[in-house]
């Protein structure tokens, strides 16, 4: 925009036209004024941009300043200037629309809002550091938390875990045994091994065993069971809560019990196997559990007939959860071993 248009032709002539030194100075003043307005707009825009989302460095500065109750000491720890510490605290307070510190006589103390906010910041920074260390660690001295069905832990994993330890001696497995689905609902473990039908919402799940069961008993009892009809003479051990049990096995092979046989009930396959191993009856067991381990040398299968179960043991983890490298290593080993 020209000076003559901006101030009018009469004023323009009063300055002596385009060759007047005063006019040149006026043009420069107007130019720099426009530049200053532009810079002010840029600063205001950047300030709004910065305060749209909370910044991690603000939180770190707040945590250190709160711990020392001194901007000077916080500046020393973070290798920053005291003015930079103060500025970041002010930006955080502006973002939260709350005063976090009371400043008086070269001392600072937390406000009520600051004291309430501090534990949340400390926990968040601690979780961030721990999560980053787990995800990006080299698996040295790592621990994988596994919330695991007690039967699978005892009858499948226990005989095979030594091979994993030989392959990955730097990774430890922390097992937390459980049987019931309610216990898994509150789990915070890296991985879970559940018994059920699969297809849990929000989880990736991988079946681990061949879901076929057949009768198993002690070596001493096997001589009493020449045919399936002889089952009427021994207690049948049933696992409560499982979709398929003795009634399904007997019906599948047209075994008709003319006499009502004795039954024993338990809540896990581990307990059923222990009862059978001690001669308390005959249980239905997954063949995959009888391939290795102490019980595989004690229990024998008197019949070849099997039935398929709807339920299985599944390796699970949250769909949206990033597994740590040690967790991924254990997951891959588990799935490969189960093939």
Output the pTM of the full model: 0.60
Radius of gyration of the CA atoms of the chain, in A: 37
* Structural domain count of the chain: 4
Tokens of residue 204, six digits: 């990736």
328 and 190 in a common domain = yes
Beta strands 307-308; 212-218: pairing state: antiparallel
Cα dist from 323 to 56, 102, 141, 175, whole Å: 23, 42, 16, 17
Whether residue 10 has pLDDT greater than 50? no
Band the pLDDT of 23: cuts 50, 70, 90: low
Whether residue 13 has pLDDT greater than 60? no
Residue (of 121, 113, 105, 104) closest to 67 by Cα position: 121
- Select the more confidently predicted residue: 189 or 130: 189
325 and 182 in a common domain = yes
296 and 234 in a common domain = yes
- Classify burial at 240, counting beta carbons within 10 Å of its beta carbon; exposed 0-12, middle 13-18, buried 19 or more: exposed
276 and 161 in a common domain = no
Report, in this order, helix, strand and coil percent for the chain, each rounded to 5.
50, 20, 30
| Block residue for tokens 């721990």 | 130
Tell me what pLDDT residue 240 has: 87
319 and 279 in a common domain = no
243 and 301 in a common domain = yes
Residue (of 62, 112, 121, 116) closest to 87 by Cα position: 62
Residue 106: CB partners within 8 Å, gap ≥ 6?
none
Cα dist from 312 to 162, 211, 288, whole Å: 24, 6, 11
149 and 196 in a common domain = yes
**pLDDT average, residue stretch 96-109:** 90
The pLDDT > 70 percentage for the chain reads: 78
Beta strands 236-239; 212-218: pairing state: unpaired
Tens-digit pLDDT profile for residues 272-311? 999 999 999 999 999 999 998 888 889 999 999 999 999 9
- Classify burial at 204, counting beta carbons within 10 Å of its beta carbon; exposed 0-12, middle 13-18, buried 19 or more: middle
The residue from 72, 104, 136 where one domain ends is: 136
Phi-psi region of 69 (alpha: psi -120 to 50; beta: other; left: phi over 0): left
Structural domain span for residue 15: 3-50
300 and 227 in a common domain = yes
CA angle 133/136/142 to nearest 5° reads 65
42 and 23 in a common domain = yes
158 and 96 in a common domain = no
């Amino acid at each position: 925009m020209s000076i003559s248009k901006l101030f009018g032709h009469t004023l323009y002539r009063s300055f002596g036209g385009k060759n007047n030194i005063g006019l040149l100075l006026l043009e420069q003043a107007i130019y720099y004024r426009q530049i200053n307005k532009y810079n002010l707009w840029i600063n205001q825009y950047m300030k709004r941009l910065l305060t749209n989302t909370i910044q991690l460095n603000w939180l770190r500065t707040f945590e250190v300043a709160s711990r020392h109750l001194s901007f000077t000491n916080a500046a020393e720890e973070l290798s920053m200037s005291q003015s930079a510490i103060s500025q970041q605290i002010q930006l955080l307070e502006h973002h939260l629309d709350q005063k976090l510190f009371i400043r008086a006589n070269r001392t600072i103390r937390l406000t009520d809002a600051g004291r309430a906010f501090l534990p949340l910041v400390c926990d968040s920074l601690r979780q961030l550091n721990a999560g980053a260390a787990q995800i990006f660690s080299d698996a040295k001295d790592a621990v994988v938390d596994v919330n695991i069905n007690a039967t699978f832990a005892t009858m499948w994993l226990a005989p095979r875990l030594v091979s994993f330890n030989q392959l990955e001696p730097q990774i430890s497995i922390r097992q937390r045994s459980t049987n019931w689905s309610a216990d898994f609902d509150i789990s915070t473990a890296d991985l879970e091994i559940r018994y059920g039908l699969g297809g849990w919402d929000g989880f990736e799940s991988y079946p681990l065993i061949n879901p076929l069961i057949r009768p198993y008993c002690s070596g001493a009892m096997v001589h009493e069971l020449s045919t399936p009809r002889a089952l009427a003479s021994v207690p049948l051990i049933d696992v409560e809560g499982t979709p398929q049990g003795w009634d399904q096995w007997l019906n599948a092979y047209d075994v008709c019990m003319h006499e009502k046989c004795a039954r024993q009930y338990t809540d896990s396959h581990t307990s059923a196997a222990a009862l059978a191993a001690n001669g308390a009856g005959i249980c239905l067991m997954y063949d995959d559990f009888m391939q290795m381990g102490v019980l595989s040398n004690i229990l024998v299968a008197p019949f070849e007939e099997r039935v398929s179960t709807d339920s299985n043991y599944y390796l699970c983890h949250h769909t949206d959860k990033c597994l740590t490298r040690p967790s991924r290593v254990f997951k891959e080993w588990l799935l490969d071993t189960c093939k």
